[in-house]
Structure 1
């Protein structure tokens, strides 16, 4: 069954799949045209918000939907069941895209018992503003719905909110995981039948949301391993995992093991449900993980002093989101524990949350300066609702922070290479190019040399982009950009400009002649030629993404001009 929103809105539809397992119905809210999510990353294929009904002798509803689907979702729910017959409302976590209609559902099901982790129930009390029956669950607790549907709860904090729980139905062998193992991919396909189509979005989703919580992913998967057979992973976003369940879940395990084994780690402290702290911290964390530095995130709202002390002791760097100055006793105590545990060998970065009552950032910055900690990035001061530019700034600040900590390790690795092999590899010559990209209000640029034509039909080429480059987030599958080809004898000024280290959020085109391409990205006025391109696919290697692009348009400004050539002495740096 499909229910559509009025055509004057962006496409919002509902899809019902009545038999994903025994007595189990999926209600999928399809957000076809959503192009950005909570943090800075863009979406190429929209997203979905998945909700589930489990009917035993009693009935449980697992998660609701985004508030934008209020009418569509409630109409669909009423078409499946009289809401008053819902006995339990299971909250996988309280992020608004899944709990945005909890109050509406409880208004229709006033006798339902809300089931969730302790932190989730505390938050819902503030959200609903009315009494409701509640059941607090922890890892291993069970709820018997009857007719064999025994639900077991699996603790999965920080995936990607601190109050996340999974729910396993012993009868249907379905594991409901909300954000974990999901992807932002909107289609009529209920399941993961087309692995090739969903793989890029599956990886991108992991990198944006789960990579900063790699250790938490592994902890949750250890608990999953103790469950009986899992036949379906019912995710909160995108298709459900069934056809390629083992392949996709093992990718999570492999990626998380790789990231958690990083020698260097940054502890990111934030305050969930306060201002934009969670989103800003996620953007900074993603920038850090691009550099190969691991991240562990901790919510100051529920931080245990002993765990805070232990985490600070292991971290090479600290990122701290300012908690509210009043009314957050636990957060203030955690901040005191952090200050008592830091050492002068650590680097630190601070950000405001735009919560309206932030602890003064300058006071804390001064205290950390007195303790002689290194500055990982200048304090990020949020004065308005964060936009694309702010999230890009946060991503770039995190990248700078990670590069600062990873620098010594890179130098040590370079010294260990064979000198003759380095020289031989360096004899591979290449051209000189500048890649420019614009997406919404965010723009970026990068000097490139590892570019090579790769196909005739269609016309296409590859470019290697280091994982820690700011422009990497603007070169996902489906994104567009411009390849500006530099001219021999006329490239020194452009090369010098784009080799500069720009501050996070800095304008990379200040003082440079540009004009917009058809795809919106800047064309450099002093380039010999340009190509307008679309990213078609990406292949991951150890420290770069190999990006294959097709050419949409191009022009040469001087027919007699010659492409600048880049010669290196060694192959261990650009």
Structure 2
């Protein structure tokens, strides 16, 4: 193993390790990165993994993020003479994996770039220079010699439309790029400690893969046809070796649950323009929190017949619009016309602008959908500047609003299905009244809670039940900090009423409420009877809630003689 460090930057290091015969991993370790993709928070950094396979010919699988340019190229030269590279395999063209393809091609211009048709089209716009290419489809093979016979597996939308897996039949290593990865950085090349990584593994799945559950199941089916897979060489985090069977099983279970959803939304975006893919991903994540399935469509590479069939069967449509005056709008015009032609009344629709221009392409399209009888699920989202945490949070909340709109009838039916006597009996379980407040970057949220209880003495800890579709849920991941505000009996109705109301996506939940900052950054409600600053240390998933366990760091009571407000319910099947 060789480790190189960039001392000029904050904790960017390189690691190389032999992971199979004639197979070397080059891992770029980004120890301190705290945001990624849809700007979800990272607690443990991330890695960008690249691989070299040596047969009679040599293949490089993926590269790295451009922030590692010099470190990566120096490490590559240390591992191999770049002139020996015959093939550069592109799993997909997202910049964190292909950001240095242009640099590698400058070192070895004779190399043939291998990828899906869509990937090579995207790559042309990234490298701005001619290159040798080889388009591969599902089932195609590339024989490097000495037994290294590579088979390619189409895996679109995991999580870009051009994604492709590569399987080496000699070593039984499957290269999956984003799929089965996680944002977790440590010195271990493999998944030696499942307990340490499983929370991040699930969070990564929820953010990136759950919105494409059907695509996950298709990829798993194709993987099952390969034979034995001993190692999954992921694009992020530790490689899977010790827990391959267990972690692929979890992907299958999670995806089957998501794919069984009765309702589906099509989320359309333009992967090569602005922040469209990240904004679409944030909206998709918000939708999946409500139990509604998502199928994504890249407007640039979409098949028109498949788009028409998808729009015909979905209950909702989300479209990311590039500026009307740009080239991206022209290239997607035919697909948008197909979407409009296939749309029908009673569907719900939401539109976001993917960034930058002064024109307003969202409103003409929105009016066309309205004229067709579609319901507008959330106000149009327009992006004028680079998105922040608050922007992505707004998109997530918009997606949740859409999902809740589509499932409202089903939710009412479920509420009415509980036996009346049991419903009333369950409602007699009372609890205190609390406001949970959280802040991460410039994104903040709050919720009224009554399912709160002390859970441990050493350390002091509490559990809180958080519904999966609550806006604050994404700010209460393992490692996140929040404030538990205890409401005072006789002085709680105005706060209860305020935090019970429905907020529009991105709305300031603290407008008109007196607050002060806590040590952990989350707002303290000035009128609360007491507050405790907490850190999430674990989560347990239930059918419609997460049980969040948090340790208490500090706290204070404003009036020792006052009592906690209590919530007495009459029924137990809804809040």
TM > 0.5: yes
Is the 2:323–2:353 contact (alpha carbons within 8 Å) kept by the matching residues of 1?
A: no
| Cα distance change of structure 1 residues 358 and 49 upon mapping to structure 2, 3 Å threshold | farther
CA offsets 1:429-450 (integer angstroms, 9 cap, x no match)? 1000000011111111100000
Following superposition, the deviation at residue 344 of structure 1 comes to 1.0
- What is the total number of aligned residue pairs between the two structures? 572
Residue 125 (structure 1) shift: 1.1
Aligned to 2:142: 143
- What displacement does 1:356 show? 4.3
Match of 1:227 in 2: 226
Aligned to 2:111: 112
Question: Which residue is equivalent to 2:170?
Answer: 171
Residues 163 and 355 (structure 1), Cα distance of their counterparts in 2 relative to 1, 3 Å cut: farther
Tell me the residue number matched to 1:280.
Answer: 279
- Check conservation: 1:531, 1:553, Cα contact below 8 A: yes
CA distance in 2: counterparts of 1:415 and 1:448, whole angstroms? 23
Report deviation, 1:40: 2.8
For residues 179-204 of structure 1, the C-alpha deviation after alignment (integer angstroms, 9 at most, x for no partner) is 00000000011111111110000000
The answer to whether the 8 Å contact 2:453/2:464 transfers is yes
Kindly indicate whether residue 243 of structure 2 is the aligned counterpart of residue 262 of structure 1: no
Corresponding residue number in structure 2 for 1:515: 516
Q: By how many angstroms is 1:266 displaced? A: 0.6
Q: Does 1:447 align with 2:448?
A: yes
Residue 130 of structure 1 is matched in structure 2 by: 129
Q: Is the 8 A contact 1:322 1:358 kept in 2?
A: no
User: Residues 483-498 of structure 1 correspond to what in structure 2 (within 5 A)?
Assistant: 483-498=484-499
Q: What is the CA deviation profile of residues 230-262 of structure 1, one whole-angstrom value per residue up to 9, with x for unaligned ones?
A: 100000000111101000011111101100110
- Structure 1: 4+ residue segments shifted above 3 A: 323-330, 355-359
What is the CA distance between 1:270 and its match in structure 2?
0.6
Q: TM-score, normalised by structure 1?
A: 0.98
Any conservation in 2 of the 1:323–1:358 contact (CA below 8 Å)? Answer: no
Deviation of the 1:527 alpha carbon: 0.3
Residue 99 of structure 2 corresponds to residue 100 of structure 1:
yes
Which whole-Å CA distance do the structure 1 matches of 2:70 and 2:521 have between them? Answer: 36
CA distance in 1, matches of 2:570, 2:275: 47
Question: Where does residue 311 of structure 1 map in the other structure?
Answer: 310
Shift of 1:417: 1.2
Kindly report which structure 2 residues correspond to 1:294-333, keeping only aligned pairs within 5 A, or say none.
294-323=293-322, 325=324, 327-328=327-328, 331-333=332-334
Tell me which residue corresponds to 1:14.
14
Given that residues 185 and 237 in structure 1 are in contact (C-alpha distance below 8 angstroms), is that contact kept between their aligned partners in structure 2? yes
List alignment gaps of at least 5 residues for structure 1: none
Mapped to 1, the partners of 2:263 and 2:389 lie a distance apart of 29
Deviation string, structure 1 residues 333-379 (Cα, Å, up to 9, x no partner): 11111111111110000000115497711111111111121011010
8 Å CA contact 2:432–2:564 kept in 1: the answer is: yes
> Contact 1:302–1:330 at 8 Å: present in 2 too?
no
TM-score (norm: length of structure 2): 0.98
2:55 counterpart residue number: 56
The 3 A distance-change label for structure 1 pair 229 and 355 is farther
Residue 436 to residue 49, structure 1, CA distance change in 2 (3 Å): same
Offset of 1:323 from its aligned partner? Answer: 3.8
> Residue 426 of structure 1 contacts residue 569 of structure 1 at CA under 8 Å; is this kept in 2?
yes
Distance 1:73 1:525 in 2: 51
Partner of 2:404: 403
1:174 positional shift: 0.2
C-alpha deviations, 1:376-399, integer Å up to 9, x for none? Answer: 101000011111111011011111
Distance 1:2 1:530, change over 3 A: same
SS at match of 1:16: strand
Contact 2:274 2:354 in 1 (8 A): yes
